[in-house]
A = this chain, B = another copy of it.
Amino acid sequence: MLYAARRWRGAAMSHCGTLYLVPAPLDFGCNTQTPLTASMPQATLQLAATIEHWVCENAKSTRAYLKRIAELYPLSAPLQTMQLQELPREVHKKGDHQGGFDARPLLQAALQGHNVGLVSEAGMPAVADPGSSVVRAAHELGITVVPLVGPVSLLLGLAASGLNGQSFAFVGYVPVANDERAKKIRELELLALKTGQTQILIETPYRNSALLQTLLQTLQPNTRLATASGLTLPQGSCHSALVKHWKTKGWVLDNANPTVFMLGA
């Protein structure tokens, strides 16, 4: 029996399957792929290979991920016979916390005793990604929830930033319109400088350079700005400096690499 499959006390006390939160590698949509062993523990991959029922952000990318896992560990069932249920578009768009989406019907298989995997396109499901409605539904139904270890870009980026890791906030995306964007950045900077709380934001990759320009134009010279691009990938890079020093560094952000932006004292 797999180590990870029996490791949570709750699992033995219920006739339900377990909801496993299965992280995905961070190379989704990137030009290069890394070996899964670079960023995924063996136990995560071995356990994922045993799951035949999935709730996912996108069925196509989940199949692609399962094919990569199958190269290392044989899947317990053919891909064609697996149950892959996509989260509806409304959850992608509005997020799990708006609109009152009821995810309980997605967990029928777990109620029938099967383990279910929750997976997003990159990183940890339900963190800066859809999925929390499924996790809430599992808790409501008395289904044991087990998060598996894998890459989480936000915290890899934070660790590599040199910014305060004892107090931090993830704020998601900043507005796209110039005026609102600059206003929001100034608010976040004020909060960071006043409270010491590092502010973490993300952007759609093709807007990386534009966001960086706005940050450098908007932030005060002595504020620290850090970026972490292409985490776990061959082309990855982490930069961190006071804003006044950034201007002399000549660092460039590739608009193809997912990037985490962080600012603080």
Contacts and interface: CB of A to CB of B under 8 A. Distances in A.
A181 interface: no
Nearest to A39: B149
A236 B158 CA distance: 26
A244 to B, nearest CB: 13
A209 interface: no
B166 A97 contact: yes
Interface stretch (A60-68, A82-90, A130-138, A210-218): A130-138
A145 interface: yes
A233 B8 CA distance: 7
A147 B160 contact: yes
A41 B43 contact: no
Contact of A43 (B39, B163, B167): B39
A30 interface: no
A156 B8 CA distance: 14
A50 to B, nearest CB: 15
A109 interface: no
A37 interface: yes
A49 interface: no
Interface in A214-252: 228, 231-241
Interface of A: 3-4, 6-10, 21, 34-35, 37-43, 95-97, 124-129, 131-133, 135-139, 144-147, 149-152, 154-172, 196-197, 228, 231-241, 265
8 tightest A-B CB contacts, nearest first: A136-B162, A135-B162, A169-B169, A127-B165, A38-B43, A147-B156, A139-B240, A37-B42
